[in-house]
A = this chain, B = another copy of it.
């Protein structure tokens, strides 16, 4: 196990690579496989150098996602600790059966006599010019699957720590990375004790509004919070970090202090995981809330490839700032007539994007 050194600046993708290297060094039963992960070093370089260093424990696979995930499951049930890569989150759709009907049931249905200590890495989100089949944010699907753990790192540090926690976990864990964050750098302390899975983090303290976000939108949320601060509003930004286990206590504690809640994610608004956070708050934090809960997400459309259209679809600091404005002038809403058609929140989000 590598010594604990001081923090160093690493790219998000380098942090992933470091965690994978750590896994192969510290867990002899660890295996890494996926498409183009061995000789080519991974489509995004996450597995760079690992095949050279660890040989057959890191190998390339056919373009067969169901086989990749199922093979990880069977190997995990039989003593290995597979860490697999699904190149894009969109491709998980060809293998959802292996996730929901196979992997996730392993422990429960066997009364705990079988377990599947496997880690599934993927990445998601839009990028300029990417098509609808390479741009989705489907974390809500996984947050709805009991038996599965789901981590979603927003920084190089968490790309390292959350992945290590996932690998060390005895439960099947999905780690959803962000392609657009791969080049971003940040401080990472290599080695050291592995954190238990779970736990949200207050990444910017505040007192007027609680802003919950995850993955790439945490950065946008912080930018929005800074802009709000310039206008004299103190926004507390919480990085959810894990959808399962879900640390709602940290959210509730914050809302108890702020009385206002905004949730922001890149996924399509309707049915996004933001709805779960809002629904819990509407029950657990009801008496603390001074304003309606606002959600920001992509409108309910497939993600278009053209940047001019993406600009109107992908939430950012501006749209989040609009939602912060809405919760701050809450009471004003009282005399706002209820929209006759039952407003499509996705469109609301799109509208506030023009703000």
Contact = CB atoms under 8 A, between A and B. Distances in A.
B146 A268 contact: yes
Interface in A79-132: 90-91, 93-94, 96-97, 99-101, 104-105, 108-109, 131-132
Interface string A265-292: 0011011111110111111101101011
A340 interface: yes
A215 to B, nearest CB: 16
A129 to B, nearest CB: 14
B93 A97 contact: yes
A345 interface: yes
Contact of A279 (B132, B275, B330): B275
A252 interface: yes
A339 interface: yes
A223 interface: no
A144 B270 contact: yes
A343 interface: yes
Contacts of A286: 289, 291-293, 330, 333
A143 B342 contact: no
A305 to B, nearest CB: 8
At the interface, is chain A mostly helix, strand, loop or mixed? helix
A287 B292 CA distance: 8
A341 interface: yes
Interface stretch (A22-30, A172-180, A231-239, A241-249): A241-249
Contacts of A284: 292, 338-339, 342-343
Contact of A109 (B100, B131, B252): B131
Interface centre among A140, A271, A273, A343 (most CB of B within 10 A): A271
26 contacts: A93-B100, A93-B101, A94-B97, A96-B96, A101-B132, A104-B302, A105-B132, A105-B133, A109-B131, A140-B140, A144-B268, A144-B271, A144-B272, A146-B346, A147-B301, A248-B342, A248-B343, A249-B340, A276-B279, A278-B282, A281-B282, A282-B282, A283-B292, A284-B343, A286-B289, A287-B292
